[in-house]
């Protein structure tokens, strides 16, 4: 298990008090539409995005799409 996934497993949904599950989630930005696997609450659907992802890969994709 990678460090990132390890960090993901520290979090539970506070409202539903359940473990998060890795699910396919739609993300979109400008002209781009993707489906990626992210941790989400199986009950209320809230999706977890940790800082490393937001400031790393996600930012990179955002910048890439902005320059398309």
Partner 1 sequence: MDLDKLLETGDKCIHDEPPSCEAACPLHLDVKTFISEIERGDLKKAYKIMEKRIPFTKIIGRICDHPCEAHCVRKEAGGAIAISELERYVVTEGYSPPKKTLPMPKNKGRVAVIGGGISGLTAAFDLDRKGYRVTLYEKSNRLGGGLWSYAGKGLDSEIIEEELQKIAAMDIELCLNTSLQKDDLKEILQQYDALYLATGEWQEKLQINPHSLQVEGTSIFAGGGLIDRESMVMAASSGRRAAISIDRYISKVSLTASREREGIFETPLRFETEDEEPLNRVKKTEAVFNREEAAKEAGRCFKCQCVKCIKACSHMRSFNISPDAYVRQINHNERIILGTHYANKMINSCTLCGLCREECHLNISMKAVVQETRESMVEKNKMPVSAHDFALKDMAFSNSQRFSLVRGQPSKEQSKHLFYYPLISYSKYVQGLFLGTGKTAYLFYPGCQLPASFPDYIEEIYRYLVGSLKGDVGIYLGCCGAPADWAGRKQQADENAKEIRRRWEEMDRPTFILACSSCSSIFEKYLPEIKTISLWEIFADYGLPVSNNRIQERHILNVHDACATRYNTKIHDSIRKIAYSLGYQLQELKYTKERTKCCGYGGLVYFANRQQAEAFVEERVREGSGDMLVYCAMCKDLFVSGGKKTYHILDLLYGNATKETGLRRMPTLSERQYNRAMVKKRLLKEIWGEEAMTAEEEFGYNLIISEDIKHVMAERYILLEDIQRVIDNAQRNKERFYNVENSSYLTRLRMDNVTFWVQYEEMESNINILSVYSHRMEVVEE
Identify the CA nearest to 15 among candidates 53, 50, 56, 43: 43
If one asks whether residue 25 binds partner 1 (CB under 8 A), the answer comes out as yes
Instruction: Please pick, from the candidates 5, 14, 42, 43, the single residue that binds partner 1 as defined by CB under 8 A.
Output: 14
If one asks whether residue 49 binds partner 1 (CB under 8 A), the answer comes out as yes
Q: Is 24 helix (H, G, I), strand (E, B) or coil?
A: strand
Q: Which is closer to partner 1, CB of 21 or CB of 26?
A: 26
Give the integer Cα–Cα distance in Å for 35 and 26.
Answer: 5
Least gap, CB of 21 to partner 1 (angstroms): 13
Give the integer Cα–Cα distance in Å for 23 and 39.
Answer: 6
List contacts with partner 1 (CB under 8 A).
Answer: 10-15, 20, 25-30, 38, 40, 44-51, 54-55, 58-59, 61-64, 66-68
């Amino acid at each position: 298990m990678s460090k990132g996934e390890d960090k993901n497993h520290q979090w539970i949904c506070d409202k539903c008090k359940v473990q998060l599950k890795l699910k396919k989630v739609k993300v979109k930005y400008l002209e781009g539409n993707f489906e990626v696997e992210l941790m989400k609450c199986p009950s209320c659907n809230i999706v977890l995005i940790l800082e490393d992802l937001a400031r790393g890969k996600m930012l990179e994709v955002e910048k890439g799409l902005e320059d398309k």
